Amino acid sequence: MKIFRRLLFWLVGVPLMLIVLLQVYFFVQIAWWINFNPSSTSFMRHQLSVLQEKDPNAKLQHQWVPYNRISNNLKRAVIASEDDSFVDHEGVDWEALQKAYEKNQKKGKVVSGGSTITQQLAKNLFLSGERSYLRKGQELIITYMLEFCMSKERILEIYLNSVEWGVGVFGAEAAAHHYYGINAASLGPAQAARLAVMLPKPRYFDKNQGSSYLQRRTELILKRMNSAELP
């Protein structure tokens, strides 16, 4: 009986404790970031390692700027393009998730995530780019931690300062300099809309800036921007 209990402890108890400790780690990190800015994210570190495989001296383009030094045009464009119900939901858009699930079922694999801005931030901060339902489950837990601890404004501020916008380009300030030679506060409506459209495939659009899709989608986001509500 003692042997069975020990076996059960190692097979079930230990993994459960490790999972709980991992969640505590995530929560403590998020609580710290309420008032302190993350210097990097899991995704940033991964991309830097990829770049340094080809060039050991490679560095990321990244500069943190506070919320009030990011153009409202960019905030509205990103919300209009990525998550138009951002200010209203509690971190997860269940309708979008259902549509993504149905699409994945048809394809027979995970091809769509239906992620909100908060979910994307959760993934970028802590997780890998792997597409699986297990990773999605962890993403949802972190998402609710973010929404519990942070204001919508803080979530959007961290997201805009850490999201990938090109090959080695992270955050609104670096993106504004990289593509337009200006700072993030000076982005006009068309510039902001174009940057927002690049987000799903930033490295692709960095190398294919003449894409006709990019232009068409930019014009659509320009029309939607004025109705985007800011936190």
Q: Which residue has the higher pLDDT, 43 or 102?
A: 43
Per-residue pLDDT, 9: 52
Q: Between 164 and 99, where is the model more confident?
A: 164
DSSP conformation letters of the chain: -HHHHHHHIIIIIHHHHHHHHHHHHHHHHHHHTTTS--S--HHHHHHHHHHHHH-TT---EE----GGGS-HHHHHHHHHHH-TTTTTSSS--HHHHHHHHHHHHHHTS-------HHHHHHHHHH--S---HHHHHHHHHHHHHHHHHS-HHHHHHHHHHHSEEETTEESHHHHHHHHHSS-GGG--HHHHHHHHHHTTSHHHHHH-TT-HHHHHHHHHHHHHGGGPPP-
Question: What is the structure's pLDDT at 159?
Answer: 98
**Bigger pLDDT: 52 vs 102:** 52
pLDDT value of residue 194: 97
Using the predicted structure, report yes or no on whether residue 8 has a pLDDT greater than 80: no
> To which CATH superfamily is domain 59-227 assigned?
Biosynthetic peptidoglycan transglycosylase-like (1.10.3810.10)
Q: Between 100 and 46, whose confidence is greater?
A: 46
Confidence grade of residue 86 (pLDDT, cut at 50, 70, 90) = very high
Residue 103 pLDDT class (50, 70, 90 cuts): low
pLDDT tier for residue 12 given thresholds of 50, 70 and 90:
low
pTM of this prediction? 0.89
185-221 tens-digit pLDDT: 999 999 999 999 999 999 999 999 989 999 999 999 9
Average pLDDT, the chain: 89
Closest by Cα among 159, 165, 130, 133 to 146:
159
Q: Does 109 have pLDDT greater than 70? A: no
Residue 100 has a pLDDT of 65
Residue 33, pLDDT score: 97
Write down the pLDDT at residue 133: 78
How do residues 129-168 score in pLDDT, each as one tens digit?
A: 667 777 888 999 999 999 999 999 999 999 999 999 999 9
